[in-house]
Amino acid sequence: MVAIPKTEVVAVRPHHTIWGDAVIRLRRNKLAMIGLAFIVFLSLIAIFAPLITPFSFSDQNYYEVLEGPSAKHWLGTDQLGRDTFARLIYGARTSLSVGIFTQFIVLCIGLPVGAISGYAGGKIDNALMRFVDVMYAFPDLLLVILLSSVFRGTYFGGSIYMIFLAIGLVAWVNIARLVRGQILSLKTRDFVSAARAMGGMGNYITWRHLLPNALGPVIVSITFNIPRAIFTEAALSYIGIGVKPPNPSWGAMINDGFSLIFAKPYMLIFPAIALALLMLSFTFLGDGLRDALDPKLRR
Amino acid sequence: MAKKVVIEVNNLTKYFPITKGFLRPKVVAEIKAVDGVTLAIHEGETVGLVGESGCGKTTLGKCILQLYRPTSGEVIFEGQDLTQLTDKELRPLRQKLQVIFQDPYDSLNPRFTALDIVGEPLRIHNLMQGKEYRDRVAELLNLVGLAPYMAERYPHEFSGGQRQRLGVARALALQPKFIMCDEPLSALDVSIQAQIINLLDDLQEKFGVAYLFISHDLSVVRHISDRVAVMYLGKIVEISNRDELYSGPLHPYTQALLSAVPIPDPEVETNRQVIVLKGEVPSPINPPSGCVFHPRCYRAFKDCETIVPLLADCADSHQVACLLYKSSYP
Amino acid sequence: MKPLLEVHNLTTNFHTQDGIVKAVDNVSYDVNVGEAIALVGESGCGKTVSALSILRLIAEPPGKIVSGEVLLDGTDLLKLSPDEMRKVRGAKISMIFQEPLTSLNPVLTIGRQLTEGLELHKQMSHDEAEREAINLLRLVGISNPEGRINNYPHQFSGGMRQRVMIAIAIACRPQLIIADEPTTAVDVTIQAQLLELIKGISRQYNTALMLITHNLGVVARYAHRVFVMYAGKIVEHGSALEVYHYPDHPYTAGLLASVPRLDEPRKTRLLPIKDQPPDLILLPTGCAFHPRCNYAIKRCIDEVPSLYEVDRNHYSACWIAQTGQKPWQKKSS
């Protein structure tokens, strides 16, 4: 019997895991890093809001109504005497939490539906996807408005949890389709066949092989979903069926500011710019993540 | 010295239906990927399966392992017909039937470490944990010529040949009786192919595992196989002992196939005539009548258009399906 | 007789996130009129990149042709403007790619893809071009060319697509055809058909052929001269007969020994080359092959060997061969 000769690893490139490699590539993307920095910055401000401003978002002061930016009120006051700056940074809390927490709901529903649909195929897949198609047929904003109105009458009414649900229950379809597509293409890969040949069953294969490899595009999609959710919340508050006042929301502030657009333009401009910057940051980050996670761009 | 049969395939067919229509899909045609194959593989033996793309060899391999469910026919292993078992019932048997895939870049989960990959069969069947598990994986890595410290690395940090070794180590983890090798060398460099062939040879000697070696590379198949079967359009057209097949091929397709392989020697090649087949491999949806090879066959005659030749013994352990030989007439 | 194509000291680099890869490192070769040469080597050795460099088809980031000259009939292709280069591609030098699936445009009929080049390079009218296209399809063995000229690539099988590629390549009667692994994606019987076709055509039109492949059998059958590449460099070159029967480099000898041959009795054990080809970013010092070489001496680790005429018209980049010894050559064969 001949001894089986060993192969040596003569010299190796620096040890990269897949995620490590993606992080390196992400860090090189300046726009993505700026976006990330802004998000972190805004989050910190939102968390430490009470330490930054002495005012709350609901303190009304009828003596200081509709003032312009000053030393006391950095961004002025609104028509009820509330400090605009305070409302802005507390409003960031609303926007960020809507952005992020809706995605939990989206993942909780979208991932399993997409995974089951993709892996099972056949009639289950057909049924689930037709349901998804029907939901897709409705404009999402309309559906969200519908759900909000329904929820308003119930226990939640006007709280931020209602917004999470309303947006989450509509946005999951996107992820479901995406996950399903990923799983369909991963199903045919040899390493999945290998797992089946070893005796791996459906659940095991889905959780250990398919989903982890489908994560890349899912993460990117979630990152793009966040600004959409933020904007939807702003839109809801703008029309008046978002969070109940005096809870702060950039959308509500924009609505208030709109009526005063010629007199006090700053009331509209600040929340609008804040909203735009936050959405832009997530979009840059999403772009960066997509490029960083794309295996074809490694070389 | 009659050896025991490990796997017996009887009249296996695999047809892929082509459907039209949305609500009530109708089958309009069938791709006859495997069309009636009977084959026996013995303990510790290597059966080489050759043929060109579309001949059904990979499909046959997958049907044996029930990765595709055959349309009809039997696959007998350890006294049971695998085609009649559910996935759950197959699970314990799967420990003894393993696969090595063609693409070393695709057959390993890019997010698993080498440890995860090689040890996966052990984990799926809950056989070992902790130190025992790690030791067994280290043992397997050593067996295929990889250093155990590489267990923490990811597939993309290995070369193609090393990845294929990981695939081999994984296939050996449960001490299988049978490994289907699906074109395991095609994606590898020439100098690495020889390494892997030697490895497979050594492991067979050591563990007595049987191989079904699927390949389109005739020189390699000759090196590693004990018996060789030639497939064309879903059927076996010739099967024999290795030496006999290569020195005296009977079926015209086998002859053309062998002549098409260029020899790495310019002097030999200048003096060698190549049999060039006319035409292309026909579609498996609409195979030709009679002998499926007749439109391209340089020795075809009238009967070939109408009569389907049987795969029959025409010499000692040499079977051929060709009307040039009387035994193939039904 | 001056060669048709001369490549002198070509170097092409690629910038990757882990470092610079010298895909082609100071490579020189030449092709004579009507001759067939082969660039042999395994994946990553630089053979395809050198061919793409000749036609300047290297994507400029991340690649860059750093130095050297490519003389076609005396003109340096690397110095031409993009417009002038376009006149060369397809007309003077054409290329057949490995994967016919991706090299043909799926939304154009094959007739269009044929006439495109004819109208551009030969200034033919549309009707003339179409007639010529039909002729070409007939020449490459596609039956019913009049009927099939308006078909799309997906309506052809792999082997036929490759024939269409060959037709496109010879459409403008180029002086040189570069065939990049033309048979890797097709079956062995189709491979035989295609290679015989290419050989026949190049004989008929006296076209030079540059065959890029890792298949030693194909090279033996169709090439007059062979250039063996390893890790971006040429390690040996000479006539096919010389190189195969008397390899002057241990890598060539190792390759030949590791391939099972149908015409020889079956060996009980193949003789592979140990370990794997080097990572081009982390090349060994001295001779890139030394870690895998059974005969390496100290000089091989220290100095990079240069090509040296070891036998008449037979060059090798090996320190040991230069001393006159060739321990890897079998005495018997």
Same structural domain for residues C198 and C234? no
> In this predicted structure, what is the pLDDT of residue A296?
60
User: What do you get for the CA distance between the two ends of chain B, in Å?
Assistant: 31
As given in the structure block, the two tokens for residue B243 are: 């030496």
Q: What is the mean pLDDT of chain C?
A: 87
Task: Report the neighbours of A using a cutoff of 3 or more CB pairs below 8 angstroms.
Answer: B, C
> In this predicted structure, what is the pLDDT of residue B141?
92
Q: Which of C18, C21, C283 to mutate to test the interface with A (most CBs of A within 10 A)?
A: C18
Q: Which of B189, B217, B255 to mutate to test the interface with C (most CBs of C within 10 A)?
A: B189
**Boundary-marking domain end, from C207, C223, C239:** C223
The predicted model gives B195-216 an average pLDDT of: 92
> In this predicted structure, what is the pLDDT of residue A158?
64
Under a CB-based contact definition with an 8 Å cutoff, are residues B264 and C40 in contact?
A: no
Residue A15 sits at the chain C interface (C-beta within 8 Å): no
Flag whether C328 is in a domain: no
> In this predicted structure, what is the pLDDT of residue A89?
86
Flag whether C329 is in a domain: no
Residue A2 sits at the chain C interface (C-beta within 8 Å): yes
Residue A177 pLDDT level (bands cut at 50, 70, 90): very high
Total tally of structural domains belonging to chain C = 2
Give the integer Cα–Cα distance in Å for B52 and B329: 25
Q: What is the dotted CATH code of the domain comprising B5-19+29-96+175-328?
A: 3.40.50.300
ipTM, two decimals, is 0.83
Same structural domain for residues C141 and C170? yes
Q: Do A7 and B165 touch (CB under 8 A)?
A: yes
Give the integer Cα–Cα distance in Å for B106 and B136: 24
Same structural domain for residues C253 and C190? no
Q: Do A13 and C62 touch (CB under 8 A)?
A: no
Residue C236 in 3-state DSSP?
strand
Task: At B5, give phi and psi (nearest 5°).
Answer: -85, 130
Quick one: closest CA in C to A2, which residue? C269
> In this predicted structure, what is the pLDDT of residue A3?
44
Flag whether C331 is in a domain: no
- Asked whether the predicted pLDDT for residue A299 surpasses 60, the reply is no
Same structural domain for residues C29 and C74? yes
The predicted model gives B114-131 an average pLDDT of: 90
Give the percent of chain B with pLDDT over 90.
46
Same structural domain for residues C237 and C111? no
Same structural domain for residues C216 and C169? yes
Domain ranges of chain B: 5-19+29-96+175-328, 111-173
Same structural domain for residues C116 and C247? no
Residue B267 sits at the chain C interface (C-beta within 8 Å): yes
Same structural domain for residues C154 and C46? yes
Q: Do A10 and C16 touch (CB under 8 A)?
A: no
Flag whether C69 is in a domain: yes
Looking at domain A18-297, which of 3.40.50.1820, 3.40.50.720, 3.40.109.10, 1.10.3720.10 is its CATH number?
Answer: 1.10.3720.10
Residue C66: partners with Cβ closer than 8 Å, 6 or more residues away: C11, C12, C13
> In this predicted structure, what is the pLDDT of residue C331?
54
Residue B153 sits at the chain C interface (C-beta within 8 Å): no
As given in the structure block, the two tokens for residue B253 are: 């397709």
Flag whether C149 is in a domain: yes
- Asked whether the predicted pLDDT for residue A160 surpasses 60, the reply is yes
Q: What is the pLDDT of residues C185-237, one digit of tens each?
A: 778 888 888 888 888 888 888 999 999 998 899 999 999 999 999 999 999 99
Same structural domain for residues C218 and C241? no
Looking at beta carbons, which residues of chain B come within 8 Å of C217? 261-264, 269
Entry pTM: 0.83
Same structural domain for residues C17 and C149? yes
Same structural domain for residues C280 and C314? yes
Quick one: closest CA in B to C43, which residue? B189
Same structural domain for residues C213 and C243? no
Q: Edge-to-edge strand order for the sheet containing B227-232?
A: B97-100, B178-182, B210-215, B46-50, B227-232, B235-241, B318-320, B312-315
Residue A14 pLDDT level (bands cut at 50, 70, 90): low
Q: Which of B22, B88, B111, B158 to mutate to test the interface with A (most CBs of A within 10 A)?
A: B111
User: Which CATH number fits the domain that encloses residue C128?
Assistant: 3.40.50.300
DSSP state of B130: H
Residue C327 sits at the chain B interface (C-beta within 8 Å): no
Question: How far apart are the CA of A211 and the nearest CA of chain C, in angstroms?
Answer: 28
Q: At what angle do helices A122-137 and A160-187 cross, to 10 degrees?
A: 140
Residue C298: which domain range? 230-322
From first to last of its 333 residues, chain C has per-residue pLDDT tens of: 788 999 999 999 988 877 888 899 999 999 999 899 999 998 888 898 999 999 988 888 888 898 999 999 888 988 888 888 888 888 899 998 887 778 888 888 888 888 888 888 888 888 888 888 888 888 888 888 888 888 888 888 878 888 888 888 888 889 999 999 887 777 888 888 888 888 888 888 899 999 999 889 999 999 999 999 999 999 999 999 999 999 999 999 999 988 888 888 777 788 888 888 888 888 888 899 999 998 888 888 998 998 889 888 899 999 888 888 888 886 544
